[in-house]
Homo-oligomer: A and B are copies of this chain.
Amino acid sequence: MSGENCLAGLKILDLTQFEAGPSCTEALAWMGADVVKVENPGSGDPGRSVGGKSDKDSNYFLQYNSNKRSIAVNLKDPRGLEIVKDLARHADVMIENFAPGAIERLGLGYDVVKAINPAIIYCQVKGFGSGSPHEKNLAFDMIAQACGGLMSITGEEDGPPCKPGATIGDTGTGMLMAISILGAYVRRLRTGQGEHLQVAMQDAILHYIRNAFAYMERSGGKPAPRAGSKTVGGGFPPIGVYPCKGGGPNDYVYIYTSAANPEHWTRLLKVMGREDLIGDTRFGTPAARAEHRQEVDEIVSAWTRQHDKNTAMNLVGSATIPAGAVLDTRELADDPTFQQRGIRQPMAHPTYGEYVMSGWPVRFGGAPPSVGPAPLLGQHGTEVLSDWLDYDNGRISGLRDAKVLG
């Protein structure tokens, strides 16, 4: 068993750029879909130069485009447009995430493509939804995080709104589109029916903060506040990050005692050598601890400061209390168990060289799918036009000479 062949035979025509679209098609490529990325012959997906122009593709680009093929086509040339329409005729899925209105101006809107291929699953990712007052606005990940409510609930209680380091507006949206594509594809296999799928990044954010909406409902309807490292509404202490030995920016351990599991607190007291507090009514229940939050946090911090974060995690975690060291990207990259388990995979790329990247974290029969390198711009033009469209070499050379094909 393995994940690489799940989607064998699924042809995806990919006109996406940056992250929201590319993360979606990459997930499908990892499971075996044939993803053909159509790019501008000049510089391609602008993601190729995130972090500054260079003669090699950016690491950012490599993250979101592995296992795909690239064809560089000049869409402003009518012959280029014809190539893409030919590809659309043979595709199961077409996807784009251009600025609002751009795909229609290119002459590749849903109505046009549907007329060519009625069974196609045609997918669009935008910042704001059709019918939203902002539907014409540009958006990037951070705009979606602001307008989707996520920044209002991230940050310190008394600080400004903060942006989560994860790109939920981008990859978070891409994942929802990937699920929808596969749902529509399952039906298409059964019925032959095509579909028009659309997702807005602002709307996608709402899906990831439903806890905050639930909290608002159960607490009188006021907006969910920011809660630092705690859960929405603050939870019941101990909860949150506690400082550890070392004093570095990430020398903290997260400790969480579930209100549903009263034993977590007494187990923690034992780990900390504070059996003297077992039965102390100030701390006996989650509600009592919430009333004495500062004292509880001081008791726990006094103990965590004596240990480095990994030791603290091990001592608390092995006592069956949820605990986690705050790990940074360097520590994660240096932990060999991620590579041993296939979660991060060593890669080789013709111009970028060797690197390690996080692949699909779901294991199929014990192993994540293998990750291959991202394509060079236009690397697969000839083979795609031959595979998908049966163009002969003469025709392909002609298109290349005419600069229609990059």
Contacts and interface: CB of A to CB of B under 8 A. Distances in A.
A163 B329 contact: no
A300 to B, nearest CB: 14
A186 B256 contact: no
A260 B328 CA distance: 28
A156 B155 contact: yes
Contact of A213 (B28, B243, B252, B333): B333
B229 A250 contact: no
B361 A206 contact: yes
B196 A366 contact: yes
A149 B184 contact: no
Interface in A11-47: 19, 27-28, 31-32, 46
Interface in A113-167: 129-134, 137-156, 159-167
B187 A189 contact: no
B147 A327 contact: yes
B51 A151 contact: no
Contacts of A75: none
Given A186-B185, A256-B143, A364-B184, A210 B163 contact: no
Contacts of A141: 231
A328 B84 CA distance: 42
Q: Name the residue in A224, A328, A361 with the highest tally of chain B Cβ atoms < 10 Å from its Cβ.
A: A361
Given A166-B164, A223-B329, A3 B180 contact: yes
Given A213-B358, A256-B140, A327-B147, A341 B241 contact: no
A64 interface: yes
A171 interface: yes
A386 interface: no
A348 interface: no
Interface residues of A, number: 156
Contact of A187 (B7, B19, B165, B243): B7
- The winner among A51, A163, A197, A333 for most chain B CB atoms within 10 A is A163
Given A209-B166, A326-B146, A327-B147, A1 B154 contact: no
Interface stretch (A55-63, A268-276, A377-385): A55-63
A370 to B, nearest CB: 14
A322 B19 CA distance: 16
Contacts of A343: 129, 203, 206
A391 interface: no
A81 interface: no
A229 B152 contact: no
A121 to B, nearest CB: 10
Given A187-B6, A206-B358, A151 B229 contact: yes
A313 B156 CA distance: 24
Interface stretch (A214-222, A291-299, A397-405): A214-222
